[in-house]
Amino acid sequence: MEPNIIISDPNIMMGKPIIANTRITVEIVLEKLAEGESIEQILESYPHLNRESILAALSFAAKALKADVIYPVTIEK
């Protein structure tokens, strides 16, 4: 995987992690996948992305969640 696919710049999208050379946040990629969109559908919607950039977003998110932080999950009844 190419280094620096995911970057954070305080002057772009308020510093949120983005796909380099775009204004597409890791957050939006994750939301699209969570909503059930396939990688192919995301690539159709954002043709300047590639499969590697989507996988980099997933990898970034996985690494971010490995921090020693507990994320409480509430279960709605």
Residue 75: what pLDDT? 77
User: How does pLDDT run across 39-65, given as a tens digit for each residue?
Assistant: 999 999 999 999 999 999 999 999 988
Q: How many CA atoms lie within 13 A of 28 on its CB side?
A: 15
**pTM of this prediction?**
0.81
18 backbone dihedrals φ, ψ, rounded to 5°: -130, 165
Most confident stretch, 3-12, 37-46, 66-75: 37-46
Q: How many CB atoms lie within 10 A of CB 23?
A: 10
**Nearest in space to 34 (alpha carbons), one of 5, 58, 8:** 58
CATH number of 6-64: 1.10.10.10
Give yes or no for residue 1 having a pLDDT over 70. no
